[in-house]
Structure 1
Amino acid sequence: MTGVPSAERLARDLDWNLLRTFLVLAQSRSVTDAANRLGLKQPSVSSALKRLEDRLGKKLFDRGPGRFELTAAGRLLQAEATDIHGAILRLGTVMRDIGDEVRGHVSIAMASHVVSPLLDSALSEFHRAHPAATLSIDIMASREAIDAVNARRASFAVCLVNEHSPGLQYRRLFREFFGLFCGPTHPFFGREGLTLNELSGQASVSFVTDRMTDALRAVTLMRNSAGLDDRIVGTSANLEEVRRLIVAGLGIGPLPIHVVTEDVAAGRLWRLPPYENPPAIDVHVAWNPRTRSNRAEQAMLQRLLETIEQTPLEERIYI
């Protein structure tokens, strides 16, 4: 492996296809796995990795029996290559038609079942003002939504936030509160006056982010205080699927209280303790200031941020 090349020579000689192959390798379990994802032969991928390592003068993967991990240099390259990949994906933005009418596509990465009149209002006002613009909403886990914004695959995200990524900017959209619920077949359904201690040992279902180190840490603490069984029998990143598991009777689970008000009224769900001081979870808008946004993206994000600024915090707390 040669020494580290000069920055100028590297910029001149480095092939983007090598970086694209590297990004797939970084997300794969082995060279063979990466080759299958790329639709290439394994020797071709191995050769591409060797050429990239030779050009950079660095070993990018620690490889051995049952081991395929990024080195420190590999992790650094992954972060930089992801940024470059996002910029290339958005080259069409530079070529957009600059006219009086706002055109372009807005891609929103959103956590499951975000219920907010503010967001609905901003979407409605945006469409009325810019009918030629298009918009898509992709539902994903909050961590994936943040990754999409970091990689510039999404215009912005509406999601839960565990830790602030240093390259992004954030604004709180609203605060919601979580409670514990059971379905009609559960023995606690319809029972009044239950205490938290009576939930001890009961089976539970929850979100994949219901962990002490993730965005629903406050919900994890609530489940722990109830003494629910440590083994979670069903999980999902999608609120509707967690709701389905609860209604189906697999166990007790957490849901945003304001989202399931109609389900409780209709007899599909039953609220369980704790009834006081339920855990609060903030939903944020997150965006990447380094992204070269098209005019539609700029207008939609500005509309949403203005709506937040014009609405007092007490009106953005949903119970």
Structure 2
Amino acid sequence: MTLDQLRLFVAVAERQHLTQAARALNVAQSAASHAIAALEARHGTRLFDRVGRRIVLTEAGRAFLDQARLVLTQADRAERTLNEFGTLARGTLAVHASQTIAGSWLPRHLVAFRRVWPGVMVRLSIGNTAQVADAVDSGRADVGFVEGAVAAETLERRLVARDRLVAVVGPEHEWCGRESLDAATLASGAWVLREPGSGTRAALETALAGLGVPTAQLQVALELPSNEAVRAAVEAGLGATALSASVVAPSLEAGLLQALPLRLPDRAYHVVLHRHRPPGRAGGALLALMGLDAVSG
């Protein structure tokens, strides 16, 4: 069993598609198929079943997946440990960030990092706040960036920037042009929200609760997994939402969205670090560029 086989197995399991996994790892489909078959033959058990066009894990495959991920995480950390004895001429920086941060604030910092350390490969993964926190907690991410709260006691947050939420509707929505919106109106209207676990959703729910609209009273017409999907749905006329100012700015300028007269509080962007595990030399270098100390405090 090799690390390449484990990486391929995990890629197929996550995508449920052999061709997509092979493409993601830059290997030929035939080589990928042979590697999975060899792994199954060596241990005498099927890891996948084919269901239509999808490839799904067997019971043995599901049990193996967690272990394979753990081995790959440990192998990556071991390799980074050796690389860090050098001068960051080589290495990998694993960053996980929420969609809002990854789509606006973070890229310029990653570009600045690459200019200083061009030999370090930066891997950026995007998820909601809960997913980012889990990645840092499990060791899959060196550092994370979120705008929501994190629950794990093993994690700490540090302020890095501030953001502003803007409530918006489509230009034909009945709330357009109103000078004020009371709690009853807000509770009776349809809302398009991000999925549970999203920092953007949590911030909006907290703000509306402060305006007298408890979360349980919200009329959620649609839950979507990305800022872009939420924005597009509201542009098409389905309800109201609130997103980062940077996300809605182009649509406001184009007249595709109209801002609502709601005073929503600013929210903070935080870097998320593990309290008991340093972020590594590359992670520390990124934090230093941002004027932060890598040492937990």
Residues in 1 aligned to 2:220 and 2:154: alpha-carbon distance in whole angstroms = 34
Residues in 2 aligned to 1:187 and 1:39: alpha-carbon distance in whole angstroms = 46
- Residue 261 of structure 1 is matched in structure 2 by 249
SS in 1 for 2:101: coil
Matched-pair identity in %: 21
Change (3 A) 1:215 1:113: closer
Is residue 2:290 matched to residue 1:304? yes
Residues in 2 aligned to 1:105 and 1:255: alpha-carbon distance in whole angstroms = 32
Residues in 2 aligned to 1:235 and 1:149: alpha-carbon distance in whole angstroms = 26
Is residue 2:246 matched to residue 1:231? no
Residues in 2 aligned to 1:40 and 1:270: alpha-carbon distance in whole angstroms = 46
Q: Which runs of 5+ in 2 are unaligned?
A: 1-5, 7-12, 14-45, 50-54
**Are the aligned partners of 2:148 and 2:203 in contact in 1 as well (CA < 8 Å)?**
no
TM-score, with length taken from structure 1: 0.61
Is residue 2:260 matched to residue 1:279? no
**Are the aligned partners of 1:112 and 1:140 in contact in 2 as well (CA < 8 Å)?**
yes
- Residue 79 of structure 2 is matched in structure 1 by 92
Residues in 2 aligned to 1:219 and 1:45: alpha-carbon distance in whole angstroms = 39
**Are the aligned partners of 1:104 and 1:294 in contact in 2 as well (CA < 8 Å)?**
no
SS in 1 for 2:119: coil
Which of 141, 162, 166 is residue 179 of structure 1 equivalent to? 166
Residues in 1 aligned to 2:200 and 2:154: alpha-carbon distance in whole angstroms = 18
Change (3 A) 1:291 1:89: farther
Residues in 2 aligned to 1:241 and 1:215: alpha-carbon distance in whole angstroms = 13
SS in 1 for 2:157: strand
SS in 1 for 2:145: strand
Which of 213, 216, 219 is residue 204 of structure 2 equivalent to? 219
Change (3 A) 1:166 1:305: farther
Q: Which runs of 5+ in 1 are unaligned?
A: 1-16, 18-23, 25-33, 50-77, 308-319
Q: CA RMSD in A?
A: 4.0
- Answer with 1 or 2: which has the greater Rg: 1
Change (3 A) 1:266 1:145: same
Change (3 A) 1:143 1:194: same
**Are the aligned partners of 2:94 and 2:142 in contact in 1 as well (CA < 8 Å)?**
yes
- Residue 136 of structure 1 is matched in structure 2 by 123
- Residue 155 of structure 1 is matched in structure 2 by 142
**Are the aligned partners of 1:109 and 1:137 in contact in 2 as well (CA < 8 Å)?**
yes
**Are the aligned partners of 1:87 and 1:291 in contact in 2 as well (CA < 8 Å)?**
no
Residues in 1 aligned to 2:88 and 2:75: alpha-carbon distance in whole angstroms = 25
Change (3 A) 1:84 1:166: farther
Residues in 2 aligned to 1:299 and 1:210: alpha-carbon distance in whole angstroms = 29
Is residue 2:269 matched to residue 1:249? no
- TM-superposed CA distance for 1:265, in Å, is 2.2
- TM-superposed CA distance for 1:208, in Å, is 1.7
Residues in 1 aligned to 2:287 and 2:272: alpha-carbon distance in whole angstroms = 10
Residues in 1 aligned to 2:153 and 2:112: alpha-carbon distance in whole angstroms = 31
- Residue 270 of structure 1 is matched in structure 2 by 258
Change (3 A) 1:40 1:242: closer
**Are the aligned partners of 1:106 and 1:155 in contact in 2 as well (CA < 8 Å)?**
yes
**Are the aligned partners of 1:158 and 1:286 in contact in 2 as well (CA < 8 Å)?**
yes
- TM-superposed CA distance for 1:179, in Å, is 2.9
**Are the aligned partners of 2:102 and 2:126 in contact in 1 as well (CA < 8 Å)?**
no
- TM-superposed CA distance for 1:150, in Å, is 0.7
Change (3 A) 1:174 1:97: closer
Matched length = 243
- TM-superposed CA distance for 1:96, in Å, is 2.5
- TM-superposed CA distance for 1:204, in Å, is 0.9
Change (3 A) 1:210 1:180: farther
- TM-superposed CA distance for 1:248, in Å, is 1.5
Residues in 1 aligned to 2:75 and 2:81: alpha-carbon distance in whole angstroms = 10
TM-score, with length taken from structure 2: 0.65
SS in 2 for 1:158: strand
- 1:11-65 Cα deviation digits (max 9, x unpaired): xxxxxx9xxxxxx9xxxxxxxxx965997764x689x89xxxxxxxxxxxxxxxx
- Residue 192 of structure 2 is matched in structure 1 by 205
SS in 2 for 1:154: coil
1:126 aligned partner, one-letter code: F
- TM-superposed CA distance for 1:266, in Å, is 1.8
Change (3 A) 1:95 1:237: same
- TM-superposed CA distance for 1:89, in Å, is 4.2
- TM-superposed CA distance for 1:141, in Å, is 0.9
Change (3 A) 1:39 1:253: closer
Change (3 A) 1:221 1:273: farther
